[in-house]
Amino acid sequence: MSQGYCEKKSEGETCNEAENMEHLKRSSRGIVLDTIRKTERVARIDIANETGMSAATVTGISAELLSQGLIEEVAPDASPSDSRRGRPRVGLKIRGEAHLVAGVKIADRSAVVALLDFEGKLVGEFSLPLPHLKMSAQECAGFIRELMEAAMATNGRHLSDLSGIGLGMAGVIDAPRGFVHWSPSLTTRNVPLRQLLADTFAAAGPCPPIFLDNDVNLVALAEQWFGLGRNVSDFIVVTIENGVGMGIVINDNIYRGTRGCGAEFGHTKVQLDGALCRCGQRGCLEAYVADYALLREANISGEAFQDPNAEKQVQELFYKAKAGDVTARTIFQRAGKMFALGLANIVNIFDPKLIILSGERMQFDYLYAGEVIENMKNSVVQIDVSPPEVRIHKWGDLMWAKGAAVFAMEGVTERALRELSKNAR
């Protein structure tokens, strides 16, 4: 669940023995905190059993985490079954009030905010329509400040109550640098958005730390914390909305690639010199399964729609296909075949335990109909072990925002542990 608490030294620098010990101790604190978070309520001795640490180490680390207010003790469970097993044990749990974090998802037409306490409980939500479908970098930063101020006021809180803000948006994003190489939500490329946001927030007062990432990575985090990815070390999330996205979890960590663009599933090629994609290339998966691809096919066949809204038009086309319209059906059937090919490529490259098809679009079953899954199975390397399970998770923008809040929570936790480590020296 944790992204690792050890700071990397720059190339050429090595740690001395004391620093190594401190890094080890800091990651031990992280492991204890993660164990408490996963278990929700756990006795010290059970943490020792689970992690393989000594009881004395766990007691020492628990005392530090208690003194920082990150965790709290809970009264022993006095149920008869518990007391029969000996003296009831005091449990430890995450202290919800320790930190408040916000997650923001910039969607196609609106932005959604989720507020989580340190336990990961949803304590508030908010949304505002975007001023424009594409914003300049400055306009985007100003809008997010306005959005956050309104979200906090609506939930009876203030910006200064926040320990961190996580922000997820579509595009190619360098998360460690908080840098947007390209996003469909912005009019310009190469935007140092985190710095711009920090400057914009700072103009009105103290600015909480801001954490920025590609939105599908944050869906993968949300699946890991709250969804179908709980207790699964290796899984892939595929989202289909306006475009096609993918989040990769390997060994419990999000895999981001070296340039922040390691999971462009939508732009993997499924056809040589095929249909033109929004990215300017040909034959991308997205050019066959995204909204605009389906509607392009429909327009070629002269399909008439009642609603000018693209999202509604896809719905209309889907219902026509369901009602037996032959043209509409062939459009979805081809999209399903291409999607199956894309899924098979994922299985052949990663061999994950689980593939989660996630997002609102999952109300349209053409992407996971029996024949799509069957086509996928037929296109993967054949061995005598079942291919990965494919599960469907229908959820809306709030869950994307919760994923963004979890990203902020991980960053805030890392900072808290670093602080603890500094004070312990």
State the minimum distance, in angstroms, from the CB of residue 410 to Zn ion.
Answer: 30
Report, in Å, the least distance between residue 266 CB and Zn ion.
6
Q: Which is nearer to Zn ion, 92 or 170 (CB)?
A: 170
Residues 6+ apart with CB under 8 A from 123: 100, 115, 116, 117, 155
Q: Considering beta carbons, is residue 83 or 281 the nearer one to Zn ion?
A: 281
Q: Do residues 356 and 238 lie in contact, with contact meaning Cβ atoms separated by under 8 Å?
A: yes
Per residue, the 3-state secondary structure of the chain, as one string, reads: CCCCCCCCCCCCCCCCHHHHHHHHHHHHHHHHHHHHHHHCCEEHHHHHHHHCCCHHHHHHHHHHHHHCCCEEEECCCCCHHHHHCCCCCCEEEECHHHCEEEEEEECCCEEEEEEEECCCCEEEEEEEECCCCCECHHHHHHHHHHHHHHHHHHCCCCHHHCCEEEEEECCEEECCCCEEEECCCECCCCECHHHHHHHHHHCCCCCCCEEEEEHHHHHHHHHHHHCCCCCCCCEEEEEECCCEEEEEEECCEECCCCCCCCCCHHHCECCCCCCECCCCCECECHHHHCHHHHHHHHHHCCCCCCCCCHHHHHHHHHHHHHCCCHHHHHHHHHHHHHHHHHHHHHHHHHCCCEEEEECHHHHCHHHCCHHHHHHHHHHCCCCCCCCCEEEEECCCHHHHHHHHHHHHHHHHHHHHHHHHHHHHC
178 or 283, CB closer to Zn ion? 283
- DSSP bridge pairs for 246: 238
Given the complex with Zn ion, which of 277 and 354 has the nearer CB atom? Answer: 277
Smallest distance, Zn ion to C-beta of residue 345, A: 15
Q: For Zn ion, give the closer residue by CB, 65 or 277.
A: 277
Residue number with CB closer to Zn ion (33 or 287): 287
Shortest CB 243 distance to Zn ion, Å: 9
Under the rule (CB under 5 A), what is the footprint of Zn ion? 267, 277, 279, 281, 284
Rounded least distance, CB 271 to Zn ion, Å = 11
Taking the complex as a whole, how short is the minimal distance between the CB of residue 278 and Zn ion, in angstroms?
6
Closer residue to Zn ion, CB minimum distance, 277 or 409: 277
Are β-strands 354-358 and 235-240 bridged in parallel, bridged antiparallel, or unpaired?
Answer: parallel
Nearest to Zn ion of 235, 288 (CB atom): 288
Q: Which residue, 290 or 331, is less far from Zn ion as judged by CB?
A: 290
422, HSE (Cβ side, Cα atoms, 13 Å): 6
- What is the rounded distance in angstroms from the CA atom of residue 101 to the CA atom of residue 88? 34
Q: What is d(CA 53, CA 30) in angstroms, rounded to the nearest whole number? A: 13
CB of 159 to Zn ion, least distance (A): 38
Q: How far is the CB of 349 from Zn ion (least distance, A)?
A: 18
Residue 291 or residue 397: which is nearer to Zn ion going by CB?
A: 291
Task: Provide, rounded to whole angstroms, the least separation between the CB of residue 182 and Zn ion.
Answer: 12
CB of 245 vs Zn ion, minimal distance in Å: 12
Closest approach, Cβ 270 to Zn ion, in A, equals: 11
- Cβ distance to Zn ion smaller for residue 198 or 275: 275
Nearest CA-CA partner of 407 in 175, 119, 177: 175
